[in-house]
Amino acid sequence: MSLPPKLARFIGSGMTSQRARDRLMTHLQALGIQSDVVLDTLRFTPRHVFIDEALATHAYDNNALPIGFGQTISQPYIVALMTETLLARGVTDTVLEIGTGCGYQTAILAQLVGQVYTVERIAGLSQNAQRTLSELGLKNIAFHLSDGHWGWAEHAPYQGIIVTAAPCEVPPELLQQLRIGGHMLIPVGQQHSTQQLRCITRHSHTDYHSECIEHVSFVPLREGLA
Ligand code: SAH
């Protein structure tokens, strides 16, 4: 009996098979990812359905790949690291994601926390992500087309905020929309120079603690709608 075409596309074969995903998990473990729940979520989430078919054979390399509109799908190691860091700090319910892109990080988060709110400035990317995530059957995701510098005030405050494009400085609105006791992961710095992935914890209305998790390379957080 053959699988329905839709399901077969998710499972993949050859370079997009479960074996390819398992190999990537071994690599991520060697790079220091420790959380079994994060590794298993990546293991069973098909990354190849988020990218163009022509690139599918590279879907389980630990690399960023183009997704159109001059943007990239994040490197699996970075997705795993950001997710693991948020979970390790106890984030489980609401997460605001800035930079939906193709929706891969969104898909990982949606399987691990209660509700994801995701903001993107490029309409074509947001629409593609909505289609892919609904095909995967993920329902606890709300989409918003906007400049993520403003966050998404309507649903604030958030227990977690994850920013997948780099501003030069942390946008003040995002700091305000973080719940007291909540955590924000955000890459900060110029494109093509050293960026720091920072974890910012809000201790009180005015007291924030910031620590550097890793040196990273993200596309820039741009101003306004595309
Ligand atoms: N999270 C994605 C990574 C996408 S790359 C993944 O899992 O692969 C970063 C994304 O941030 C791009 O889609 C880009 O369009 C978006 N972006 C850049 N500046 C933005 C802004 N000001 N507001 C919202 N999204 C922004």
Residue 115 is assigned to a structural domain of this protein: yes
Decide if 140 contacts 114 (C-beta within 8 A).
Answer: yes
Residue 224 is assigned to a structural domain of this protein: no
Ligand 1, atom 14: closest residue by C-alpha: 99
Please choose from 67, 219, 223 the residue to mutate so as to test ligand 1's pocket, defined by most ligand atoms within 8 A of CB. Answer: 219
Please give the residue range of the domain that contains residue 66: 5-216
> Rounded CA gap, 48 and 2, in Å?
20
Cα–ligand 1 centroid distance for 124 (angstroms): 12
Cα–ligand 1 centroid distance for 147 (angstroms): 10
Residue 128 is assigned to a structural domain of this protein: yes
Residue 222 is assigned to a structural domain of this protein: no
Q: What CATH code is carried by the domain that includes residue 159?
A: 3.40.50.150
At 3 the pLDDT is 52
Residue 221 is assigned to a structural domain of this protein: no
Residue 223 is assigned to a structural domain of this protein: no
At 9 the pLDDT is 77
At 8 the pLDDT is 73
Residue 92 is assigned to a structural domain of this protein: yes
Q: Is 167 in the pocket of ligand 1 (CB under 6 A)?
A: no
Residue 189 is assigned to a structural domain of this protein: yes
Decide if 222 contacts 215 (C-beta within 8 A).
Answer: no
Active site residues: 74
- Helix, strand, or coil here: 146? coil
Cα–ligand 1 centroid distance for 206 (angstroms): 28
All residue ranges of the chain with pLDDT < 50 are: 1
At 180 the pLDDT is 98
Ligand 1, atom 16: closest residue by C-alpha: 99
> Rounded CA gap, 23 and 204, in Å?
43
Compute the chain's Rg from CA coordinates.
17
Atom of ligand 1 nearest to the CA of 79: 7
At 1 the pLDDT is 46
At 177 the pLDDT is 98
* Domains held by the chain: number: 1
